[in-house]
């Protein structure tokens, strides 16, 4: 069943038409709407997993840096420029880096494949705070020009505070266009071999379920664990490069707030 159109342009155009009247009255964040300049640093440990056959999973230890004020939010490889808000709606421009792709040496099954490079992404985010959850729509395009793809993520999450422990369940659906899927999961004619047929896929939708648990060790120290699973769309699952239908995620880390 198709959840989103083959191109997000009609959806984006409709959203813009709906939001333009609101945007004309948008105001920058007031002093109480966002935190004063705050920042934190720490470490995160995560396995790098991919859906590719026999992929050589790696364990990565990465530094973390977060920063937020009235106009900018930085977390890990992403940054958001806050444009303002209209009531419960907030607007922002985003830039991020995603570790998609592979080298031929990452799996014996990828031998003979051209390298697929990771990309930088630029786009925009629309947030909506409700009584029940924080909703978001986040569109981005490949600014590196590797895949020339686009993606649109619709998400919902809510943080539940239980003393010093926070629980944040989340649910999202991400539309990935045909250029993205073809670049990372397609097989070109020059890459065909006996056990790897040519494959030119179209767009697809991934769904994600996740839970983030955070615990305040001390007034300035927090540890967290983030677990999730991505249900891969049909165009990815049908790729001859892939041998799974889900992709697990796990991150654990520590942050010190200054």
pLDDT at 98: 92
pLDDT more than 70, % of the chain = 86
HEC assignment per residue over 84-146? EEECCEEEEEEEEEECCCECHHHCHHHCCCCCECCEEEEEEEEEEECCCCEEEEEEEEECCCC
Give the lowest-confidence range in 1-10, 41-50, 124-133: 1-10
Q: Distance (Å, rounded) from C-alpha 247 to C-alpha 232?
A: 7
pLDDT at 35: 54
Q: What is the pLDDT of residues 123-135, one digit of tens each?
A: 999 999 999 999 9
**What is the average pLDDT across 195-210?**
97
pLDDT tops 70 at residue 19: no
Q: Distance (Å, rounded) from C-alpha 96 to C-alpha 74?
A: 10
CA 130 vs CA 11, 25, 111, 157, 213: distances in Å: 22, 20, 49, 11, 21
Choose between 142 and 15: higher pLDDT. Answer: 142
pLDDT at 48: 86
Q: Which two tokens stand for residue 157?
A: 């999450």
Domain range list for the chain = 9-257
CATH class for the domain made up of 9-257: mainly beta
**What is the average pLDDT across 96-104?**
92
With beta carbons less than 8 A apart as the criterion, state whether 231 and 208 touch: yes
């Amino acid at each position: 069943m198709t959840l989103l159109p083959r191109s997000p342009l009609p959806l984006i155009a409709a959203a813009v038409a709906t939001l333009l009247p609101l945007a004309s009255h948008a105001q920058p964040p007031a002093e109480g709407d966002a935190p004063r300049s705050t920042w934190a640093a720490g470490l995160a440990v995560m396995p790098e997993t991919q859906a590719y056959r026999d992929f050589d999973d790696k364990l990565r230890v990465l530094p973390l840096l977060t920063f937020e004020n009235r106009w900018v939010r930085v977390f890990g490889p992403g940054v958001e420029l806050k444009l303002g808000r209209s009531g419960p709606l907030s607007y922002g421009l985003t830039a991020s880096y995603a570790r998609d792709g592979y080298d031929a040496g990452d799996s014996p099954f990828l031998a003979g494949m051209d390298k697929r490079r990771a990309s930088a992404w630029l786009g925009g985010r629309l947030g909506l705070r409700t009584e029940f959850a924080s909703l978001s729509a986040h569109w981005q395009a490949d600014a590196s020009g590797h895949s020339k793809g686009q993606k649109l993520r619709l998400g919902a999450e809510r943080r539940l505070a239980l003393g010093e422990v926070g629980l944040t369940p989340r649910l999202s659906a991400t539309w990935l266009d045909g250029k993205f899927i073809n670049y990372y999961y397609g097989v070109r004619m020059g890459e065909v071999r006996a056990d790897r047929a040519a494959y030119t896929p179209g767009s697809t939708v991934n769904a994600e379920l996740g839970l983030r648990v955070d615990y305040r060790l001390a007034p300035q120290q927090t540890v967290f664990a983030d677990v999730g699973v991505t249900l891969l769309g049909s165009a990815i699952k049908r790729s001859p490069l892939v041998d799974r239908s889900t992709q697990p995620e796990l991150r654990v880390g520590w942050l010190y707030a200054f």
